[in-house]
Amino acid sequence: MIREHTDFLVIGSGVAGLRAAIELSSAGRVTVITKDVATESSTEYAQGGIAVALSDEDEVGIHYEDTLRAGDGLCREEAVKALVEEGPERILELISWGAEFDTEAGKKQKLAFGLEAAHSRKRILHAGGDSTGKELERVLINKVKTISSIKRLPFTLAQDLIVEDGVCYGAIVVSERRPVAVFARATVLATGGLGQIYSITTNPQVATGDGYAAAYRAGAALEDMEFVQFHPTSLYLPSAPHFLLTEALRGEGGKLLNVNLKPFMAGYHPDMELAPRDVVSRAIFTEMGRTGADHVYLDLRDMGEDFVKRRFPRVFSTCLKYGFDITRQPIPVCPAAHYMMGGVKTDVTGHTNVKGLFAAGEAACTGVHGANRLASNSLLEGLVYGKRTGQSAADDALRSEDVLKKQKTFFPPPAHPHSIPAHDEIRGDLRRLMWQNAGILRNEDSLIDAEKKLGRWRYITESSFLSRREIELKNMIDISALIIRAARLRKNSVGAHFRSDYPQKTGDWQRHITFVKE
């Protein structure tokens, strides 16, 4: 096996990974790997915006309280405090690097702030109307390009972490079916989410839970895996992908209608369309069941044609491509798997329980989101905790001589170059199983059934592979099993985790469920 050495290895090139790499760059050589092109991550698809307390009517303390309220009693207050207090500085830093956020009409120097569900103030910054994530990715990649100590490797997938005696020395990565052992003084996981384990998701194809699975196999603690957030509104068309329809559409006045074109949210929550995401998703799911439909509608017609085209150009053009003029027709929508609140357990500086291993962004669980992420806090988390994690990884990196010694004595495990028979069928079956049995609504029977069916594929998780598709499937099965296990253990309903057989907060609901592989 080829062996390479770098000072810092960053796995993932979304907002958290790039911000960590920038922070690490002054402390040594940084290698950033991503399993597709550099821009293919959930960051690029984030439309809604980025939440930050910078407007005249807002305060950090109010942002803090809104985040805690959305998290439904399971946020870690220290983590939330760091997010909201350091958020403004990170945004101003981005602007100094060239970020162009939307401004108020006729006032080029005054940032425009929008309102989204569960926010009590207008604090959402946007770029290009509904292309905020794309703008952040552009600015961070351009910044990285100016730093000679950062090397980027596209189409490279982390197969497993190199961990011995509770210390991480890097990772085995695969490029063109060739394994390479990359040794590093510190390794940062910024691999994003896991939406692809569900048959309906807003996440890109790369979101297969790779970081969670590799970390778990390496002995890292995973926490709050039952808390998967389902976005209320994705485009529902049998022939189209489940394109995300930003929270801001409802923030600006979009109304939800059932299949009979009747408004229904007043019957589910007093805040109606501006209720927290988990409430809106369950309301839509319930209404679909009540009316026997596979979708509801999101109606923007009262906003006015000019406003919709100017404020939501990406949504407008995408829907038009599939035959829907959203200024004249209600949009068919349904909920979709969107974001993982749990993940690799870290402290507020990105440390995991494995020495030399750090995590940031959606791959990490700092506790900042609790049981339900507040809309538009994810991009801010990537910036704030990407910087924090990069700084702590630089400060607490392993000694170079220890890493070089391990590089000489490391013996990699064998990997099987063959393919998994019926791979695509298994992947499809897994995704449907997770959607039906461990999705928006769960119960003991559905979870036990899913657990039994997952057992059919145990042979895959006990093998090692060299192709992206096989490695992804192994990871998807591993992570699905942990989500089901956590959902069975939590016999109550909190935030995004809703069990129809335990619909209330009961017993020890405020605990966090943590897994460490024995």
**Burial code of 131-143, b = ≥16 C-beta within 10 A, e = fewer?**
bbbbbbbbbbeeb
284: tokens are 């839509």
Identity of the residue numbered 358:
F
Alpha-carbon gap, residue 460 to 343, rounded angstroms: 22
Tokens 């923007």 -> residue: 300
Alpha-carbon gap, residue 131 to 43, rounded angstroms: 10
Q: Three-state SS across 65-126?
A: HHHHHHCCCCCCHHHHHHHHHHHHHHHHHHHHCCCCCCEECCEEEEECEECCCCCCCCCEEC
Catalytic pick from 277, 282, 427, 488? Answer: 277
Alpha-carbon gap, residue 219 to 354, rounded angstroms: 7
Alpha-carbon gap, residue 182 to 7, rounded angstroms: 10
How are strands ordered across the β-sheet holding 50-51?
50-51, 124-125, 113-114
CB atoms within 10 A of CB 244: 24
Q: Which residues contact 96 (CB under 8 A, 6 or more apart)?
A: none
Identity of the residue numbered 97:
W
Q: Which residues pair with 9 in a beta bridge?
A: 31, 187
Q: What angle do CA 197, 323, 304 make, to 5 degrees?
A: 105
Q: Which residues pair with 351 in a beta bridge?
A: 358
Q: Which residues pair with 297 in a beta bridge?
A: 257, 332
Residue 488 falls in the annotated catalytic set: no
299: tokens are 């109606």
Tokens 């949009």 -> residue: 331
What is the sign, positive or negative, of the torsion defined by CA atoms of 291, 296, 301, 303? positive
* Closest among 382, 454, 440 to 17, alpha carbons compared: 382
Q: Which residues contact 424 (CB under 8 A, 6 or more apart)?
A: none
351: tokens are 């440390």
Residue 316 CA neighbour count, 13 Å, CB half? 18
SS3 of the chain: helix, strand, coil, percent, to 5: 40, 20, 40
Q: How far is CA 279 from the centre of its chain?
A: 19
Please name the residue ranges forming H helices in 300-422. 305-311, 313-321, 378-395, 400-409
Q: Could you list the active site residues?
A: 277
